[in-house]
Structure 1
Amino acid sequence: MTKKICIICTSCDAIGEPAEPTGAWAEEIVAPYRVWQKHGYSVTIASIKGGKVPLDQTSLAPPFTNKEVEEFLDDEAAFAGLVASTPVADIKAADFDAFFLAGGHGTVGDFPNDPNLIALLEAAAAAGKVISSVCHGAEGFVNVKGPDGKPLVAGKCMTCFTDKEEYASGKDKLVPFLLESKLREEGAFFEAAKDLWAPHVVADKNLVTGQNPASSSAVAKRVVEVLSA
């Protein structure tokens, strides 16, 4: 049976005061999409509000863009998912085998407190679905409870965009909290690559997380392994 995966993206296009344009990070959507597409999976792109997914323009320009991103944006069928994404409110945990939270700084504006995303991830966790993220996608875990009533990440080995990477990116004053620190507070056993920006993936049973954009393909491949186990 064909595996079904839902990629969840931010709908937030600006953060901070004064507002700084942001959105989803293109590579963090495109790389996993292509990995799962090559495996014959059915991939649905969703976002908090639905409709057009705002892309961080920095992720569409050198040196951060790549041929894979450019080809995706020129792929009418694939790009349609970004233009007309499904609202998270319309996504049901039972309809998918795995969920993937793409990053980008826009997630700090809507992932942590969106009731529909929280409810979806709690239902997915209760049903034993694979839940994954890369970079700031882990913002979506902040207020999610596991089946035991504790924070979803409590006692789990995981990773995300690190505090050091946040400072290095110069965005530390724009975000409401440092994600690594927040997840540690919630009981996560945090892991990170030795070097900034190096790819790093952690799998703890059905929770699969990647540290930064460079980890996008590796996270997707690890999800394939978990689904195939």
Structure 2
Amino acid sequence: MAPKVLVILTSHGKLGDTGKETGWFLPEFAHPYDELVAAGFEVTTASPAGGAAPLDPNSIEMYKEDKSSVAFLNSKKALWEQTARLADFVGKADEFDAVFVPGGHGPMFDLAVDPVSQQLIAEFAAKGKVVAAVCHGPAAFVNVKLPGSGEHLLKGKKVTGFSNAEEEKMKLTQAMPFLLEDKLNEASGGGFVKADEPWGAKVVVDGKVITGQNPASAKGVGEAIVKAVKGG
């Protein structure tokens, strides 16, 4: 049987009170998708609201020269325009090998506080499944508590995500409901790590928890998911 991954996309399309659009970030789904499909994975998409998950228009423009992103944009629209509802997957972690959350600023506003998303990720972790996210995707982890023990998913783990310096360079610090680096560092007990320079690739694997720092890390997160599920 082909390995299966559940991809959780944001349903949030507004960037705080800036009046700008946001959502999920194109290469952060496209690049891992290429790695997963090449390795024979089946990909299922879900979002809190179901239906169309908003794609950050800035990511389309920024990656218009990126072959992987353009091909994904042009041929895989059903993946994000026809997502299932997250609630439909509660109690079904055994049907998948991994859960993956692409970034974009959207997850900072909905997945970080969505109780169904938190429950799903906790279920995957409790079942020993791979739990992965990239860039702002780890926002979905910041409030996840494990069933039974009630311990934080990230307690004692090394973790990464979009850094404070990168947020500042994008001039979006004030638009965020919280700073992801700070929350991840707090949740892990000081385990946040990052690349030597902003925008540098950084993938962190700690047990079954896989995180990537930024768009440059997306391909590596896909590769890490494949390795963690298939071994080798």
For the aligned pair, the TM-score class normalised by the smaller chain equals over 0.9
Q: Alignment partner of 1:19: what SS?
A: coil
1:49 Cα deviation after fit: 1.1
Extract unaligned runs of 5+ from structure 2.
none
Q: Work out whether 1:104 is the aligned partner of 2:104.
A: yes
Extract unaligned runs of 5+ from structure 1.
none
1:63 Cα deviation after fit: 5.0
Find the counterpart in structure 1 of residue 34 from structure 2.
34
Map residues 61-210 of structure 1 onto 2, 5 A cutoff: 61-63=61-63, 66-75=66-75, 78-91=76-89, 92-147=92-147, 148-186=149-187, 187-210=189-212
Supply the distance in 1 between the matched residues of 2:118 and 2:190 (Cα, whole angstroms).
18
Q: 4+ runs of 1 displaced by more than 4 Å?
A: none
1:44 Cα deviation after fit: 0.8
Find the counterpart in structure 1 of residue 224 from structure 2.
222
Supply the distance in 2 between the matched residues of 1:128 and 1:172 (Cα, whole angstroms).
34
Supply the distance in 2 between the matched residues of 1:220 and 1:183 (Cα, whole angstroms).
21
How many residue pairs align between the two structures?
Answer: 227
Find the counterpart in structure 2 of residue 49 from structure 1.
49
Q: TM-score, normalised by structure 1?
A: 0.95
Please tell me the residue identity of whatever aligns with 2:33: Y
Please tell me the residue identity of whatever aligns with 1:87: R
CA RMSD of aligned residues (A): 1.3
Supply the distance in 1 between the matched residues of 2:115 and 2:83 (Cα, whole angstroms).
18
Please tell me the residue identity of whatever aligns with 2:68: E
1:59–1:65 Cα contact (<8 Å) kept: no
Please tell me the residue identity of whatever aligns with 1:211: Q
Over residues 178-199 of structure 1, what are the superposed CA-to-partner deviations in whole Å (9 max), with x where a residue is unaligned? 0110111122511110011011
Identity of aligned residues (%): 39
Supply the distance in 1 between the matched residues of 2:153 and 2:87 (Cα, whole angstroms).
20
1:135–1:161 Cα contact (<8 Å) kept: yes
Q: Alignment partner of 2:6: what SS?
A: strand
Supply the distance in 2 between the matched residues of 1:65 and 1:125 (Cα, whole angstroms).
36
1:153–1:188 Cα contact (<8 Å) kept: no
Moved more, 190-199 or 9-18: 9-18
Q: Alignment partner of 1:182: what SS?
A: helix
Residues 108, 62 of structure 1: alpha-carbon distance in 2 compared, 3 angstrom cutoff: closer
Supply the distance in 1 between the matched residues of 2:65 and 2:33 (Cα, whole angstroms).
15
Q: TM-score, normalised by structure 2?
A: 0.94
